Structure 1
Amino acid sequence: MGLEIEANIKRLIDKKEWTIYRLSKESGVAVSALYSIGKKKQGPYAETLVKLSNALGCTVDDLVRGHI
């Protein structure tokens, strides 16, 4: 699950022409947490997904399932 979320985040930040550091600033999620998303088997906490989806202008479902 974490790898799919990581890939979806990568696609979205590339689309916005952001860096991971910009995403961290816009979302309030630590850069270290963003780098570790793909390493977790269960994926990030729901609160983190909400922060990321708000910053990226997508739904949590888009991040988790890849409807991007």
Structure 2
Amino acid sequence: MIDMSCADWRKSSRSGNTGQCVELAQNLPGVSAIRDSKAPEQGALVFTKAQLHAFLHNVKTGQLDL
């Protein structure tokens, strides 16, 4: 299990006042975490650095659009 107590959460610069906010913690050893800033008690998705890079690449290139 990953200790999230030392996570340094940053809100996305793309998050506005719409209530759809994402936070990212990249200071955890070997992993990155993403969570909903409105509901941090619901936990976070945890990715290896390579998995996060691949996920963000797929999002940016539209590969996950439905």
Name the TM tier (shorter chain).
under 0.3
Using the size of structure 1 for normalisation, the TM-score is 0.26
Greater helix content? 1
Using the size of structure 2 for normalisation, the TM-score is 0.27
Q: Which fold has the larger relative contact order, with Cα–Cα distance below 8 Å and residues 6 or more apart in sequence? A: 1
